[in-house]
Structure 1
Amino acid sequence: MEYDEPLFFKVMQYAANADRDVVDMVSGNPDWEPPEALREGLHDYADADSDQFQYPPSEGLRDLREEIAERRNVDVEQVIVTNGAGEANYLAMARALERDAGDEVILTDPVYPYYPGKTTMLGGEMRFVSTELDGSLDPAKVRDVASDDTGCIVVNTPNNPTGAVYDRETMEELVAIAEEYDALLVADEVYDHFDFSGRFESALTIDSEHRIVTTAYSKSMAITGYRVGYAVFPESLVKAAKTRHMLVNVATSRPAQQAVLDALQNTDAEYYEETRAMLRARIDAFTDALDEAGAEYSRPDGAFYVMARFEDFPGTLDNVYTLIDEAGVAGMPGEAFGESREEWFRFALVTPRADEAAARLADYF
């Protein structure tokens, strides 16, 4: 089976090789500092006894899983610590498709490209549901395409790339559809700390054997390289997911898990509040510049991405390269996220130069 190289890598490589200064707004790599307690925990770990450098429990350090379980109000045995949200989503989608309950995966359009990639890798068939222009999802559209062949429904809230936040009513309806068709709802909540609307509702607040929640500390703690995430499975699905996790990865990095645990236990809410305030300011400045450029755009209610459309300048890969060469700004082509946003670009506001990038775009257009 052939797999396409993700466009992210092509764009980042092109920008890195450009003959001019380029503001990188391609990938969601946070540019702010992680919690201080995380650094301290990692330093302390370096002096631990050598037995602490050996394999951890495959499903994750017990103390970390207990901390997660208490915070999420679930049983500790439902929690599997994974190599980021990427592996958590893989385990969840694999579990959904190996149940012989259907091989179709319902995805939104626009969609984070790794979900279709995983669907292909797992042998599933994709069905797409278009979101509204503001990124909101009408569950009735999901119900229209759901069938007895539906094995999995994947949603991301707060959403990448639209910045939409799904409210409780939406999540309840999605769980109900999954239950009706014996499918699994996989709710990727990796941006849960970046809700600017107050409407975010975790699927974990809805009791069901038909939903799996995935997330990671990559974004909330600005540690995409640590690769510490987790999935919360219904009890009936945990055993098989743990086995697959062990066979694929053996375990997740022990020092990284311990550092995350230290950060969870010793970081107050102010850290996250300051990050949200900083991102709100970036969103304001960036969208103001898009107004100057005459662009149409979606203002995110969550996460840290802005999608924009410029007149007579569709969001193709070639035009992304043009913006790199002529404006000095690197974003992602809308075509990477599905058919419904082919005219758009996505910009990640995870650079202290977001204001500069916005001014460059305003000047260019």
Structure 2
Amino acid sequence: MEYETPLFFHVMQYADRADRDVVDMVSGNPDWEPPEALREGLRDYASLEPDRFQYGPSEGLLELREEIAARRGVDAEQVIVTNGAGEANYLAMARALERDSGDEILLTDPVYPYYPGKTTMLGGTQRFVATDETGQLDPADVRDAASEETAAIVVNSPNNPTGAVYPAETMEALVEIAEAYDAILVSDEVYDHYDLSGEFASALESDSAHRIVTNAFSKSMAITGFRVGYAIFPPELVENAKSRHMLVNVATTRPPQYAVLRALRETPPEYYEENRALLRERVDTFTDALDAAGAEYTTPRGSFYVMARFEDYPGTLENVERLIDEAGVAGMPGEAFGDSRSAWLRFALVTPRVEEAAERLATYFG
């Protein structure tokens, strides 16, 4: 079986090799500070007893699982701490497929490209449901696409790449569709702290044995390198997921879990509010420049990505490389996210050089 390497790596490597200064707007690595309590937790961990440097519980440190469970209104036994949201989604999709209730995974178009990649890796079949021009997903379209072969419906809200935020009625309807077809709704909520609309709704708001929620602290605490995520399973699905996690990873690293727990307990709400305010400013700065360049674009309601379409400049890999060489701005080709946005480019607003990048684009396309 052959796997496709995500285009992220190709674009980043191309930008690194460029013979000019390039503003990186490729990956979602927040450039702001992590919580101070997290740094303090890491410093404290270095002084702990030697036994704390050995294997931890495979499913995650109990105190962290209990903290997550209390915040999400579930039992700690339903929580598996994972190697980032990437592994959490892998475990969720694998668990959906191994139930022998079909081999088809319903994905949105546009789509975060790791979902179709995981589908292929797990031996599932991809089927796509188009979103509207704002990135919203119509449950009626999902219902029309679903069948007895549907094993899972995978959604991401707030969304990468469109910035859409699904309201409560959408999430409730998706859970109902999953129940009707004996499928699993996999709800990736990794950008939940970057809801700019006030409309975010978690799939956990529906009490169902047909939904798995995944998340991570990578984005919310600006620690993508720590790889601390989690998945929340229905009680009847969690044990096999724990076994798969143990076989794949043995356990997640202890020091980052300890530091995340400290940060969860001690970080005030203002930390997250300030980061959302910073993101709103960047959205305004960037979209103003896109207006000046005559571009069509999506205004994110959440997450931190903007998709833009420039006249006579389709979102191909070739054009992304050209933009790096000629404008000094690195984005992602729209074709990486599915057929429906192949004319678009995606830019991540997680760089202190957003204003500079915006000026370069306005000059280049203006």
Name the TM tier (shorter chain).
Answer: over 0.9
CA offsets, 1:54-96, max 9 Å, x none? 0000000000000000000101100000000000000000000
Which residue pairs with 2:290 in the alignment?
A: 290
Hey, what's the Cα distance between the residues in 2 that align with 1:341 and 1:164? Answer: 14
Hey, what's the Cα distance between the residues in 2 that align with 1:213 and 1:243? Answer: 18
Q: Which amino acid aligns with 1:119?
A: T
Is 1:223 equivalent to 2:223 in the alignment?
A: yes
**What SS does the corresponding residue of 1:39 show, helix, strand or coil?**
helix
Q: Which amino acid aligns with 1:321?
A: E
Hey, what's the Cα distance between the residues in 2 that align with 1:83 and 1:14? Answer: 27
Is 1:113 equivalent to 2:109 in the alignment?
A: no
Which residue pairs with 1:252 in the alignment?
A: 252
Compute the displacement of 1:354 (Å): 0.5
CA offsets, 1:317-347, max 9 Å, x none? 0000000000000000000000000000000
Which residue pairs with 1:52 in the alignment?
A: 52
Which residue pairs with 2:92 in the alignment?
A: 92
**What SS does the corresponding residue of 2:94 show, helix, strand or coil?**
helix
Which residue pairs with 1:62 in the alignment?
A: 62
Hey, what's the Cα distance between the residues in 2 that align with 1:198 and 1:273? Answer: 12
Compute the displacement of 1:219 (Å): 0.2
CA RMSD of aligned residues (A): 0.3
**What SS does the corresponding residue of 2:194 show, helix, strand or coil?**
coil
Compute the displacement of 1:43 (Å): 0.5
**What SS does the corresponding residue of 1:215 show, helix, strand or coil?**
strand
Which residue pairs with 2:348 in the alignment?
A: 348
Hey, what's the Cα distance between the residues in 1 that align with 2:241 and 2:74? Answer: 17
**What SS does the corresponding residue of 2:95 show, helix, strand or coil?**
helix
Hey, what's the Cα distance between the residues in 1 that align with 2:121 and 2:152? Answer: 14
Which residue pairs with 2:207 in the alignment?
A: 207
Hey, what's the Cα distance between the residues in 1 that align with 2:337 and 2:13? Answer: 19
Q: Which amino acid aligns with 1:58?
A: S
Q: Which amino acid aligns with 2:150?
A: T
- 1:139-150 aligned within 5 A: 139-150=139-150
Which residue pairs with 1:168 in the alignment?
A: 168
Which residue pairs with 1:102 in the alignment?
A: 102
CA offsets, 1:98-117, max 9 Å, x none? 00000000000000000000
Hey, what's the Cα distance between the residues in 1 that align with 2:143 and 2:318? Answer: 36
**What SS does the corresponding residue of 2:151 show, helix, strand or coil?**
strand
Number of residue equivalences: 365
Hey, what's the Cα distance between the residues in 2 that align with 1:238 and 1:123? Answer: 21
Hey, what's the Cα distance between the residues in 2 that align with 1:183 and 1:36? Answer: 41
Compute the displacement of 1:51 (Å): 0.4
**What SS does the corresponding residue of 1:300 show, helix, strand or coil?**
coil
Compute the displacement of 1:246 (Å): 0.2
Compute the displacement of 1:364 (Å): 0.1
- 1:312-331 aligned within 5 A: 312-331=312-331
Hey, what's the Cα distance between the residues in 2 that align with 1:240 and 1:84? Answer: 19
Hey, what's the Cα distance between the residues in 2 that align with 1:205 and 1:84? Answer: 23
Gaps spanning 5+ residues in structure 1: where?
A: none
Compute the displacement of 1:2 (Å): 1.0
TM superposition outliers: structure 1 runs of 4+ over 4 Å: none
Compute the displacement of 1:5 (Å): 1.4
Which residue pairs with 1:357 in the alignment?
A: 357
CA offsets, 1:194-250, max 9 Å, x none? 001010000011100000000000000000000000000000001000000000000
Which residue pairs with 1:138 in the alignment?
A: 138
Hey, what's the Cα distance between the residues in 2 that align with 1:64 and 1:256? Answer: 11
CA offsets, 1:245-293, max 9 Å, x none? 0000000010010000000011010000000000000000000000000
Hey, what's the Cα distance between the residues in 1 that align with 2:143 and 2:69? Answer: 31
TM-score w.r.t. structure 1 length?
A: 1.00
Q: Which amino acid aligns with 1:294?
A: G
Hey, what's the Cα distance between the residues in 1 that align with 2:117 and 2:126? Answer: 10
Is 1:191 equivalent to 2:216 in the alignment?
A: no
Which residue pairs with 2:24 in the alignment?
A: 24
**What SS does the corresponding residue of 1:193 show, helix, strand or coil?**
helix
Identity of aligned residues (%): 76
Hey, what's the Cα distance between the residues in 1 that align with 2:21 and 2:4? Answer: 28
Q: Which amino acid aligns with 1:9?
A: F
Compute the displacement of 1:4 (Å): 1.5
Compute the displacement of 1:6 (Å): 1.0
Hey, what's the Cα distance between the residues in 2 that align with 1:200 and 1:145? Answer: 24
**What SS does the corresponding residue of 2:261 show, helix, strand or coil?**
helix
Q: Which amino acid aligns with 2:179?
A: E
Compute the displacement of 1:97 (Å): 0.2
TM-score w.r.t. structure 2 length?
A: 1.00
**What SS does the corresponding residue of 1:288 show, helix, strand or coil?**
helix
Which residue pairs with 1:304 in the alignment?
A: 304
Hey, what's the Cα distance between the residues in 2 that align with 1:126 and 1:18? Answer: 35
